[in-house]
């Protein structure tokens, strides 16, 4: 399990969240949703140890994440940040292979297990045919799938991904989201920041809804996605129906309900 405990998060003098507690259940597909600027990505960056809380603790498997050695952490935790960058000229297979670095010792050589992990990651993300291509020549969607492949190649029990479906067309979005479900079925834990509430309702087993640096609700989508939640989190009036066979909530936004005190939508 990984969690934030009573954390204060921010950048420089700007505080994004105060006393934020957030838990990613083991074996779940957890999706974090909320309006722009609510602290979703900041929370994920804190869970990923990309930023350090000014107060509180980030706990991974019962230990303070900031006390772990970098290589040990990389064996437990795979990360896809929001704006990853690759060295100029690096090829797809070379970038994905970097996901195996945490498993390489000083004297260890590239192994058959490493080769298999890279091949599987390329296959699962549909970029095997691009393995010899320079990453900087790919489309945005192709590059995004390559970055996901690198995270998968780490074969960590926990994956944290910030907007993993960015740049992907609809078919590849569905492929990636279904892959998350398959990983969870194998016992791995996936947490992602997403913007599409409909996809979150369909694919998440655990949903966290945030606003203004605070968790407004957390739980199964079928339990927490209500018209009241949508109004409180997104300033949206909506109807919510539930599919009787799957239990998946379906959201139909109707109108914004911002108060005059918050100002009009611009």
Q: Set out the domains of the chain in order of their start, with CATH numbers.
A: 2-256 (3.40.50.300)
For residues 31 and 24, give the distance between their C-alpha atoms in angstroms, rounded to a whole number: 9
Contacts of 32 by beta carbon, 8 Å cutoff, 6+ apart: 40, 43, 44, 191, 192, 193, 194, 208, 210
For residues 38 and 36, give the distance between their C-alpha atoms in angstroms, rounded to a whole number: 6
Residue-wise pLDDT for 16-47, tens only, equals 999 999 999 999 999 999 999 999 999 999 99
Q: Please give the helix or strand (H or E) that residue 34 lies within, else none.
A: none
Instruction: For residue 139, give both structure tokens.
Output: 């489309």
29-33 and 206-211: which strand pairing?
parallel
Give the mean pLDDT of the chain.
Answer: 92
Quote the pTM value.
0.90
Residue-wise pLDDT for 147-170, tens only, equals 999 999 999 999 999 999 988 999
Contacts of 37 by beta carbon, 8 Å cutoff, 6+ apart: none
- Which residues are bridge partners to 242 per DSSP? 249
Q: Please give the helix or strand (H or E) that residue 8 lies within, else none.
A: strand 2-11
């Amino acid at each position: 399990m990984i969690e934030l405990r009573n954390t204060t998060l921010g950048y420089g003098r700007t505080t994004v969240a105060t006393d934020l507690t957030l838990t990613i259940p083991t074996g779940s597909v957890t999706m974090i949703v909320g309006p722009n600027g609510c602290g979703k990505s900041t929370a994920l960056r804190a869970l990923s140890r990309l930023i350090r809380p000014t107060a509180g603790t980030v706990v991974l498997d019962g230990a303070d994440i900031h006390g772990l050695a970098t290589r040990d952490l990389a064996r437990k935790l795979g990360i896809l940040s929001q704006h990853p960058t690759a060295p100029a000229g690096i090829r797809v297979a070379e970038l994905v292979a970097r996901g195996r670095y945490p498993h390489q010792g000083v004297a260890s050589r590239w192994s058959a297990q490493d080769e298999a992990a890279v091949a599987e990651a390329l296959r699962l993300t549909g970029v095997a045919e691009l393995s010899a291509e320079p990453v900087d020549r790919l489309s945005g969607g192709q590059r995004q799938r390559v970055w996901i492949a690198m995270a998968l190649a780490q074969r960590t029990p926990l994956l944290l991904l910030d907007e993993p479906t960015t740049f992907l067309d609809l078919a590849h979005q569905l492929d990636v989201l279904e892959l998350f479900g398959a990983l969870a079925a194998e016992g791995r834990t996936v947490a992602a920041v997403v913007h599409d509430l409909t996809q979150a309702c369909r694919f998440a087993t655990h949903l966290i809804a945030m606003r203004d640096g605070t968790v407004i609700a957390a739980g199964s989508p079928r339990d927490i996605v209500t018209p009241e939640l949508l109004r409180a989190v997104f300033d949206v009036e909506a109807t919510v129906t539930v599919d009787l066979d799957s239990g998946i909530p379906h959201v139909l936004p109707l109108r914004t309900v911002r108060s005059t005190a918050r100002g009009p939508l611009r």
